[in-house]
Amino acid sequence: MNDSILLEKYRDSLKVAWGYNDYNDWPIRISSIMHLFADAFAEEFVSDLNMIWDRTEDAAEIIGKAFKFPGRIFRLIDVVLFGLRRKRIPLSEQHQFIFKMIKIAETLKLSDTFSELGTNLLKGTHIPTELDRINSNVVHRLQAALFAYTEATLFRGHDATKSVHGPYTDDNSCFIFREYYNLRPTELWERKLLLPVESIRTICNYNSDVEVRVDNFDHIYHEGILGKSLIGSVIEINGVREKNDQVIIELTDEIIQKARAVAAIVDRWEWRQKAEKYAEIFWIRKYPLSNLCGRTKSPPSHVYHQILQGNINKVRQKCLSPDEVAKLIRLVL
């Protein structure tokens, strides 16, 4: 695939992500505060990326392995581009950055890099041969609760804690993997606010009554009712298979309780506290790369200073129209 086609395909996939354009982002519209830390984030990200890239020929594989899920890579591209654009980095360098990131994502994916066929298939995925008969409502309620929890704890940066891949098809059914990791980000929140588990994975096998697609940003789309189409599932908590409905129900109740508690705290904050937390979440998102370079999970101190001295961008608090989103994509790429 030549460079212009690659960019075109990335641009098309981005329309989905940016077209997802809610009226009021929680806890704060990210575009209204990103100018306070995006430059530093982008500079550090590209510097780390290039350092690894120049050091070894296997850079794409090494970085891919560190991030583990391609959706994380795709979701980081446009936020770094935002910072590069602000720093007036030449377009050719921005494109080189995109190509490297896509190459990293490709090391993790089986095919369909941009999920044009509605698949997000990962290399090395093991499809279970035996499924458990956990009640469908119990499984989907757990997944819904986890989604709410990851949003409460990592805001819009929840790619650092959640990935979806599939559908892996098998005759008349398909498997969808939902992976929840970094469920105890103690750098961000007090331990008592967080779940007692580090990771949960659910594997759902659906019959053909439901059509499921997953895009390269880990969004899941379905036509039909997921709950009624579940044939069987596997739930792993901290890597250990859990078959007991009651244990899962109790865990789900705890997840809901924790999500409510965190969201209630954040709702009481003023915008600077939210901006600081967002910056910390961004550096958590970047951590697999930082770790390869011997950096910590925290933003540099000048980022906090910038937030303290800076102001919210009131113009960017409003929602963009579809036309404005399209214009922005043309500007970036």
Partner 1 sequence: MKSTYTGVAVNPGYVKARAYVVSDENTRPFTKGDILVVPYSHPRYSLMLFDAGGLVCETGAVMAHICIIAGEIGLPCLTQVADATRIADGSLIEVDSEKGEVRIVE
Per DSSP, 24 falls in state S
Please list the residues that pair with 133 across neighbouring strands. Answer: none
C-alpha 257/C-alpha 254 separation (Å) is 5
Strands 173-180 and 200-207: antiparallel
Query: What is the closest distance, in whole angstroms, from the C-beta atom of residue 225 to partner 1 in the complex?
Result: 6
Q: Is 256 in the site for partner 1 (CB under 8 A)?
A: yes
Q: How many CA atoms lie within 13 A of 159 on its CB side?
A: 25
What beta strand segments (E) does 184-250 contain?
A: 200-207, 211-214, 220-223, 230-237, 240-241
Query: What is the closest distance, in whole angstroms, from the C-beta atom of residue 26 to partner 1 in the complex?
Result: 5
Q: Name the residue nearer to partner 1 (CB basis): 95 or 140.
A: 140
Within residues 3-32, the interface with partner 1 by CB under 8 A covers 19-24, 26
**Secondary structure in 3-state letters for 97-156:** HHHHHHHHHHHHECCCCCCCCCCECECCCCCCCCCECCCHHHHHHHHHHHHHHHHHHHHH
Within residues 262-291, the interface with partner 1 by CB under 8 A covers 263, 267
Q: Name the residue nearer to partner 1 (CB basis): 107 or 150.
A: 150
Query: What is the closest distance, in whole angstroms, from the C-beta atom of residue 149 to partner 1 in the complex?
Result: 9
Query: What is the closest distance, in whole angstroms, from the C-beta atom of residue 203 to partner 1 in the complex?
Result: 15
Q: Is 316 in the site for partner 1 (CB under 8 A)?
A: no
Query: What is the closest distance, in whole angstroms, from the C-beta atom of residue 166 to partner 1 in the complex?
Result: 15
Within residues 124-163, the interface with partner 1 by CB under 8 A covers 137, 140-141, 143-145, 147-148, 151-152
C-alpha 95/C-alpha 84 separation (Å) is 11
Helix (H) / strand (E) containing 177: strand 173-180
Among 34, 77, 80, 259, binds partner 1 (CB under 8 A): 259
Q: Name the residue nearer to partner 1 (CB basis): 24 or 301.
A: 24
Q: Name the residue nearer to partner 1 (CB basis): 116 or 253.
A: 253
Q: How far is CA 164 from CA 59, 72, 119, 167, in A?
A: 24, 10, 10, 9
Query: What is the closest distance, in whole angstroms, from the C-beta atom of residue 19 to partner 1 in the complex?
Result: 7
- Tokens describing residue 22: 């809610």
x-marked contacts with partner 1 along 189-228 as a string, rule CB under 8 A: ------------------------------xxxx-xxxxx
Query: What is the closest distance, in whole angstroms, from the C-beta atom of residue 300 to partner 1 in the complex?
Result: 29
Positions touching partner 1 (CB under 8 A) are 19-24, 26, 137, 140-141, 143-145, 147-148, 151-152, 219-222, 224-228, 256, 259-260, 263, 267
